[in-house]
Structure 1
Amino acid sequence: MSKKNNYFEYAKLLSNQYSTFLSNASVEHKVLEIFDGQLPSQFDDDLTIRESLNKFLLHHYPNETTIKSTFINNVLLKTNNHVSIFELNVGKSRLDLCKINGISKAYEIKTDLDTPRRLNQQMTDYFQVFDEVYLICSEKNLNIMLPHLQKECGVYTYNVTKKGRYIFKKYRQASTSNYISSLAQLSALTKKDLFSFFKCPHLETKDAMINFIINNKTDKEINKLFKLCLKNKFRENWGFLVDNNSDILEIDYQWFFKNLLSPKIVYL
């Protein structure tokens, strides 16, 4: 296999074998093993092995992880006073990213490795829970994805330059969802959330608690409290990623968001 022409395949192998908690020696061993004992020319001598791997994967393997992290860098981190969340269970779907401030925004990523097969179910779920819904896809896949989207769905496109730089453009602004369901919003939360943020008594089942809230609060109140709940629940996680952003590699964003460990310790 020619290294020059198959960087995508090498990057795919490296991505599948990489874990944030691996030691630097283990990361180097895996890289050398995949490249037959010799570091590729694209690995910079001035960078650590992790930094070189991060750069290599961003450039040659635009999968969900790399697109998610570069979208955070290029779009979400450009504004303040919000909380963004990785991977939230919503209905029968698992949302890639969401952003919460006065407005809740859902972001579903479709890479060139994905198909639009599940988009209908995903969009149905997200429009019932979030004020605005966006799809993120590559420029070349835009026409494949568009027929599967509601007219209210916003779209961001991305393009990866020859130097590995990600460029995001807002192709279409999202419209406010007309499908918000209090039942769907409350179902996305835990019983602890329902007790803490909705002043709901501890009832035997989650369904009973949801019914109690729906019978005692308006849809507008529930939507407002739903956003407040998510902001407070994940504020520390997002704040940690923002505060330590310059010390965390893009391929590790989600891991640090979940684990809140110092990158200085993890990257020893």
Structure 2
Amino acid sequence: MKVSKPAMVDRKDTWRFITKALCRILWYSSWVLLFLDVFTFFLVLIAAVLLFTQGFKIEAIRLIKLRGFFSLPGLLIAFWGMLICCLADPGKRLNSLRHMIFRLGRRGADSLWLSKKRGHFSIEMSYNTTEKEHFAGTEKAIMVTNDREIRQEISDSLIKKYGKEPGTMIVHELKVCQGEARIDIALVNGAMHGYEIKSDRDTLERLPGQIKIYNRVFDTITIITGISHLKEVATLIPPWWGIKVASCEASGKITITEIRQPESNANIDAFSLAQFLWKDELVDLVMRYNVGKEIKRLTRAQLWAYVSENIPLEELKAYVRECLKKRQAWRPDAQRTLNDD
């Protein structure tokens, strides 16, 4: 019997985990060192004031000079520890400090820095050659994007593009592989298209695992990312994924720019695809082949295995799309069906 295998952790994932753990240790150690350094400095300062008031002026000055000499190495170590963490850790927790450091010192081809404008932080980016081709070589000042705004813009654009096509459905937060992951937006018509959103406010921690899960079931996948994640996203996703960049201008308008069109997925897993189906839907599919009624006694997991091994993949894909469109028991906020006539 075929069993769905959990996503394996490759060397890159292991190295990324180790790097992140070391960055966190270094980050907190740097803060502790900085706190102790500042705390002891104030204690020495109080002691120097007491000496000064008692008439020991020379000793007080020497004490302050000596403390300042020993505090400099601690401050430098703490600063460089934080700098290394900010440059190495892609986590959302360090974004603001990392951007400030980029603004102060890093002006390379992939530099990012924050500038304050109208009470919001805006990102300015010096694009590399590939990005210049898509953005006509111009630099844009934008505000940080968020998931809700990007989701609304993508939904509206899909409705505008596919709204007149019969049997097209949009599902928000669609569970994949029995809840191992949720795709932000799924478009179901003659194929299954997945849209994953990674705004500037999101992190990319879950993306490697999501990639492996989404690759099992979707015909095409497009990731919509904020500019701050563009370079890292491009290195993580497969070459057949599409890429769109979301930017928020000073006026608040969300702009979606296509960087790369998606290509067809040639490695869909039949077992994972069958997991979209409910038991009655699985039984109905199997009964089309005039099998015995004992098939109804099988568990849902056994039916997934049977279907994946005995039903042609193209037929299974078409049946899954048909069942998703016919369902009535969706969450009210999870789906919008377009032109069901």
TM-score by length of 1: 0.62
How far 1:256 moved relative to its partner? 4.3
For the residue of structure 1 that corresponds to 2:196, the secondary structure is strand
Q: Which amino acid aligns with 2:148?
A: T
CA contact (8 A) 1:203 1:209 kept: no
Alignment of 1:3-18 (within 5 A): 5=119
Q: Which amino acid aligns with 1:88?
A: L
* Structure label with greater radius of gyration: 2
Quote the Cα distance in structure 2 between the aligned partners of 1:227 and 1:126. 16
Change (3 A) 1:94 1:198: farther
Change (3 A) 1:208 1:183: same
CA contact (8 A) 1:198 1:225 kept: no
Quote the Cα distance in structure 1 between the aligned partners of 2:144 and 2:226. 13
Among 224, 228, 231, the residue aligned to 2:325 = 231
Change (3 A) 1:255 1:226: closer
Change (3 A) 1:152 1:138: same
How far 1:62 moved relative to its partner? 3.7
For the residue of structure 1 that corresponds to 2:327, the secondary structure is helix
Among 167, 173, 176, the residue aligned to 2:264 = 176
Quote the Cα distance in structure 2 between the aligned partners of 1:198 and 1:162. 56
The equivalent residue for 1:74 is 157
CA contact (8 A) 2:217 2:273 kept: yes
**Gaps spanning 5+ residues in structure 1: where?**
9-58, 238-253, 261-268
Alignment of 1:234-253 (within 5 A): none
The equivalent residue for 1:193 is 281
Alignment of 1:31-70 (within 5 A): 62-70=145-153
How far 1:115 moved relative to its partner? 1.9
TM-score by length of 2: 0.50
Quote the Cα distance in structure 1 between the aligned partners of 2:336 and 2:215. 29
How far 1:6 moved relative to its partner? 6.0
Among 95, 102, 105, the residue aligned to 2:183 = 95
Change (3 A) 1:69 1:255: farther
The equivalent residue for 1:114 is 202
The equivalent residue for 2:171 is 85
Residues 63-120 of structure 1 show CA distances to partners (whole Å, capped at 9, x for unaligned) of 2222111211134432232211111111321111110111210011101112222112
Residues 168-194 of structure 1 show CA distances to partners (whole Å, capped at 9, x for unaligned) of 122111111122011001113322332
CA contact (8 A) 1:128 1:179 kept: yes
Quote the Cα distance in structure 2 between the aligned partners of 1:183 and 1:149. 23
Quote the Cα distance in structure 1 between the aligned partners of 2:120 and 2:259. 31
Count of equivalent residues:
192
Q: Which amino acid aligns with 2:203?
A: T
CA contact (8 A) 1:132 1:174 kept: yes
For the residue of structure 2 that corresponds to 1:152, the secondary structure is coil
Change (3 A) 1:76 1:166: same
CA contact (8 A) 1:183 1:210 kept: yes
CA contact (8 A) 1:88 1:94 kept: yes
Runs (4+) off by over 6 Å: none
Q: Which amino acid aligns with 1:107?
A: Y
Identity over aligned residues, as a percent? Answer: 21
How far 1:141 moved relative to its partner? 2.3
The equivalent residue for 2:76 is none
Among 211, 215, 225, the residue aligned to 1:127 = 215
Among 307, 321, 324, the residue aligned to 1:213 = 307
